Amino acid sequence: SEGARELSALMGTPKIKKIYQAIAVGDALATLRPSGVIEIPLDGKIARTYYEVIKVEDGLSYFELEIETGRLHQIRQHLAEVG
């Protein structure tokens, strides 16, 4: 449809922001600031994830994340790397 084509075209532009939500086991605030950037290379290439810890509750950390570089499994790998 026309709407789907327009949305698809917008996805690759700065006009669209993809915000992800994630839940991780553990207290993220034990190793991270409440918000910031995780910049750890993946497969030898730069990878940058912006994060905000929304809350920590019952042994779980809730995040909002935005990835700048879009590497394969970037969010999962970055959260695993920082503990």
Segment 39-71, tens digit of pLDDT: 999 999 999 999 999 999 999 999 999 998 889
CA atoms within 13 A on the CB side of 60: 7
Tokens of 22: 């994630």
Query: Could you give the CA distance from residue 64 to residue 28 in angstroms, rounded to a whole number?
Result: 12
**Strand runs labelled E in the chain:** 20-25, 35-39, 48-57, 60-67
Contact 24, 82 (CB under 8 A): no
What single letter denotes the amino acid at residue 40? I
pLDDT, averaged across the chain:
92
> What pLDDT score does 40 carry?
94
> What pLDDT score does 7 carry?
81
Could you tell me the pLDDT band of residue 33, with boundaries at 50, 70 and 90?
very high
Reported pTM: 0.82
> What pLDDT score does 83 carry?
79
- How many Cβ atoms from other residues are within 10 Å of residue 15's Cβ? 8
What single letter denotes the amino acid at residue 31? T
